[in-house]
Amino acid sequence: MRSLADGRCLGLVGLHAARTACPEIGIWLREDVHGNGIGREAVAAVAAWASDAFNPDCFEYPAAEENVASRRIAEGLGGSIVETRSNSKYTSVVYRIPNSRR
């Protein structure tokens, strides 16, 4: 994703394991663009594209437990928590987001 104003990278959004029943969507955004709806728009766009291209059952979306904004992205797309994961950096909650095309 690039800013139209200055061409700088705003962040990244990715789809992992695209041909599985429940691929994972991940996102990273520059801190100075948080709170502008860019994350939700990017995740929704990838989910819509992947729904048409691969027709998965659902999507997984991990978010750091303390990252309320990221969690709101998943919840806004109908996601619900299905598990918790921990690593040396943080604990994450994993949302399952339904395929809205089904």
Q: Is residue 44 in a domain? A: yes
Residue 79 has what pLDDT?
Answer: 98
Q: Is residue 4 in a domain? A: no
- Count of the separate structural domains present in the chain: 1
Query: What are 83-97's pLDDT values in tens digits?
Result: 999 999 999 999 999
Q: Are 82 and 34 in contact (CB under 8 A)?
A: no
Q: Is residue 1 in a domain? A: no
Residue 52 lies in domain:
11-98
Q: Is residue 89 in a domain? A: yes
What number of CA atoms fall less than 13 Å from residue 102's CA on the CB side? Answer: 14
Q: What is the CATH number of the domain that holds 70?
A: 3.40.630.30
Q: What is the pTM of this model?
A: 0.90
The partner residues of 98 in beta bridges, in order of sequence, read 58
